[in-house]
Structure 1
Amino acid sequence: MQNKINILFIINPISGGKQKGQVPTIIDRYLDKERFSPNFLFSEHVGHAKEMAEEAVNKNFDVIVAAGGDGTINEVASVLARHNKILGILPLGSGNGLASHLKISKNIKDAIEIINKFKIVQIDSATLNGKFFFNLAGMGFDAHLSALFSNSKKRGFNGYFQIGIKQVFTYKPQLYELIIDGVKYTRKAFAISIANSSQYGNNVFISPLASVTDGLLDVCIIKPFPLLKLPVLSYVMLRAKAEESSMIEIIKGKSIIIKRESEGPVHIDGEPLLLGDTIEVNINPLSLKIILP
C-alpha cells in the first residue's frame, strides 16, 4: 500500500463570524482516510496561520488546507507559493472571493470531496510591495472600508455592508498616476482594485473576465460617481457587468506602479495595511499549486 499523504488543516476559528469547533469532526467524517493522514490546528491571531504553515512545510506536510476566509488563505498560500507545496481550501469566511472564483463549494462536505479527488492545478499569484496576494488587492474606498471593518466588532457581510453605507457619503476620490507595463495613465478614482480573480466575494464581481491562469492582472478603476448612481454601480457588480460599464475602467498588465497623493490604507486579500504613496505590483505566473474541482 502506498504511503498516505500528510495533510494539515489550519482552521481560523472566527472567520465568517461563526465558531468552528465542529470542523475537525466534519473533516474526519468525509475525508478519504485511505489517501490522507489528517492533522488539525487552530489559528489564534492574525499572522498565526502563516507561522503554522511555515512550521508545517519544515515538518514535511505535502498539503496544507486553509479553512477560513481570504485572509487565512492568503497567510497559508503565501508560504506554500514560496515552497512549492500544495494548497487546499475550505471556504469558511464571510466573503470567500477566491474560493467562489475557483468554484470551490461553501458546503464543507462538498469542499472536502474536492480535496478527496486531489486534482492539482497551478495558478498565478501576485505581490504588492513584496507581499503576496491571490484574489484582490486595492486602494481607495474598499481599502478604507477594510481598515474600518478590521477595527469593528461587527463581522460578516452585514457588518461590512453597514459600515460601507455610512462611509460612502463622506469618502472623497483621489488622484492616481499609474504605470502599467510602461504605459502611463493619470486617473481620479473612487477605488482601484488589482484583480487576479474576478470577485470580492459574495458574488460581487469587480472583473468578471479575470483569470488566475493568464499571467495578467486586471487593474480595475472605479471612477468618481454621483451618489445617485450607487445603485447602478451595485447592480453592475452583482450582475457581473463591469466590463460593459462606463463607471469602471479595466486595464490588463503584468507590472504595475501606482503613485497616489499620500500614504494610506491598502488591502491585500481583504486584510488592511498602511503603506506609502508608491505601490508596486507584479504577477507571478503559475506559482501556486492548488487543489481544484
Structure 2
Amino acid sequence: MLKANILFIINPISGGKKKAKIPGLIDTYLDKTKFSPNYSYTEYIGHAAELAEEAAAKNFDVIVAVGGDGTINEIAAKVMQYKKVLGIIPFGSGNGLARFLKIPLAAKKAIEVINRFKLQLVDTATLNEKFFFNMAGMGFDAHISAVFAGNKSRGLKGYIEMGLKEITSYQPQTYSIEVDGVNYTREAFVVSIANSSQYGNNVYISPKSSLTDGLLDVCIIKPFPLFKIPILAYHMIRATTDRSDMVEIIRGKQIKISRAKEDSIHIDGEPFFMGKQIEIDVVPLSLHIITN
C-alpha cells in the first residue's frame, strides 16, 4: 500500500507553548506504514498558508496544522483549494475548532487520531471573501483580538487580563443585520458568527452549532451592566447561552452586517480592520478534516 505524504506545519509561537519535542513525538507515534512525514516551521503571519500551498502543489496528501485556530485558518484555506485533507495537533491558546471536533489536546493522542484517519466533510464560511472555519465576529471580542495581537504575553491568562482591563471602557455599537433576507437592528456588545460552538477553552457562544448543517449562527451578546459578567460567564462555561436572555442567536446561510464605522473584526481569533459593510456566507461541506 502506498504511503500518504503528510506535512506537519508547526507554528513555534502559537499559544505560548514550546514545540521542540513535536517532531520526536511524531516520529515515535505516527504510523509509518500509512504516512511519510515531513516538517516545516512558520516564521511570520501568512507563512503557514504559503507552506500549505507549496505542499499541496508538491502532491502532499495530508497537511497538519500544529498550532491554534489562526494557524488552522491559514492552512485550511489552502487545503480546501487543493482538495487535500486537514489534520490538527492543537497548540493554541483556546483550540476552539479542535475541542469541537474532540481532537485531544495531548500531542500523542492527537497523533493517534491522525493514525486512525477518520475523515469528515465539514462546512466552512467566508467573511468579505476571507475564509473562516470556527468563529468570526465583531464588537468587543474583535477589539480584544486586535489589542491582544500586540501583547507579547500569549495564552489564556493574558487574554483574560486584557479583557478585564478593556471591558470597562468599551462601548456597544448598533448593527443592521440581514439574515437570509430578514432584517434586524440590534445594539450589541458582540456579534459573533459561529460555525462551531465555542471560542475555545470550552467557552461556548453557540452550544447547538453544527459543522455539517449548512448554517451559521449569528450570536448577539446584548449590552449589559458589568455586574452581570459572572452570569454571562456562567452561561458560556455551562454551554447554555442559547437559554440566556443576554444572548440572541439567529441561524442562516447568507448574512449581511452594516455598522456605523470601520472597525476591527476577527477571523478565527486573528484581528483584521474592515469597513462598514460585512458579508458572510456558508460554504457547505467543503473541507475534509481528520476528526476523532
Is TM-score (shorter-chain normalized) higher than 0.5? yes
Superposed CA deviations along residues 30-50 of structure 1, whole A, max 9, x for unmatched, are: 000011000000101110000
Return the alpha-carbon distance in structure 1 between the equivalents of residues 10 and 171 of structure 2: 38
Task: Name the structure 1 match of 2:86.
Answer: 87
Return the alpha-carbon distance in structure 2 between the equivalents of residues 246 and 240 of structure 1: 14
Task: Please list, as runs of the form range in 1=range in 2, the aligned pairs for 1:235-246 lying within 5 A after superposition.
Answer: 235-246=234-245
- SS of the residue corresponding to residue 287 of structure 1 reads strand
Superposed CA deviations along residues 200-231 of structure 1, whole A, max 9, x for unmatched, are: 00000000110000000000000000111111
Write the letter of the residue equivalent to 1:102.
L
Task: Please list, as runs of the form range in 1=range in 2, the aligned pairs for 1:278-293 lying within 5 A after superposition.
Answer: 278-293=277-292
What displacement does 1:81 show?
1.2
Return the alpha-carbon distance in structure 2 between the equivalents of residues 279 and 268 of structure 1: 12
Task: Name the structure 1 match of 2:216.
Answer: 217
Return the alpha-carbon distance in structure 1 between the equivalents of residues 133 and 19 of structure 2: 24
Return the alpha-carbon distance in structure 2 between the equivalents of residues 53 and 82 of structure 1: 10
Could you tell me the percent identity over the aligned residues? 61
Task: Please list, as runs of the form range in 1=range in 2, the aligned pairs for 1:100-111 lying within 5 A after superposition.
Answer: 100-111=99-110
What displacement does 1:151 show?
0.7
Write the letter of the residue equivalent to 1:121.
Q
- SS of the residue corresponding to residue 155 of structure 1 reads coil
Task: Name the structure 2 match of 1:186.
Answer: 185
Task: Name the structure 2 match of 1:258.
Answer: 257
| RMSD of Structure 2 on Structure 1 (CA) | 0.5
Task: Name the structure 2 match of 1:45.
Answer: 44
Return the alpha-carbon distance in structure 2 between the equivalents of residues 129 and 161 of structure 1: 28
Task: Please list, as runs of the form range in 1=range in 2, the aligned pairs for 1:1-293 lying within 5 A after superposition.
Answer: 2-293=1-292
- SS of the residue corresponding to residue 36 of structure 2 reads strand
What displacement does 1:19 show?
1.8
Write the letter of the residue equivalent to 1:275.
M
Point out where structure 1 has 5 or more consecutive residues left out of the alignment: none
- SS of the residue corresponding to residue 151 of structure 2 reads coil
- SS of the residue corresponding to residue 250 of structure 2 reads strand
Return the alpha-carbon distance in structure 2 between the equivalents of residues 19 and 108 of structure 1: 12
Return the alpha-carbon distance in structure 2 between the equivalents of residues 153 and 36 of structure 1: 36
- SS of the residue corresponding to residue 105 of structure 1 reads coil
What displacement does 1:13 show?
0.5
- SS of the residue corresponding to residue 138 of structure 1 reads strand
Point out where structure 2 has 5 or more consecutive residues left out of the alignment: none
What displacement does 1:141 show?
0.1
What displacement does 1:25 show?
0.5
Write the letter of the residue equivalent to 1:247.
M
What displacement does 1:22 show?
1.2
Superposed CA deviations along residues 47-106 of structure 1, whole A, max 9, x for unmatched, are: 000000000010000100000000000000011112211000000111000000010000
What displacement does 1:135 show?
0.2
Return the alpha-carbon distance in structure 1 between the equivalents of residues 117 and 238 of structure 2: 32
Runs of 4+ with >3 A deviation? none
Return the alpha-carbon distance in structure 1 between the equivalents of residues 175 and 185 of structure 2: 6
Return the alpha-carbon distance in structure 1 between the equivalents of residues 3 and 235 of structure 2: 47
Return the alpha-carbon distance in structure 2 between the equivalents of residues 97 and 139 of structure 1: 17
What displacement does 1:154 show?
1.3
With structure 1 as the length reference, what TM-score do the two structures score?
A: 0.99
Superposed CA deviations along residues 234-264 of structure 1, whole A, max 9, x for unmatched, are: 1110110011000000000000000001000
Return the alpha-carbon distance in structure 2 between the equivalents of residues 282 and 145 of structure 1: 24
Write the letter of the residue equivalent to 1:64.
I
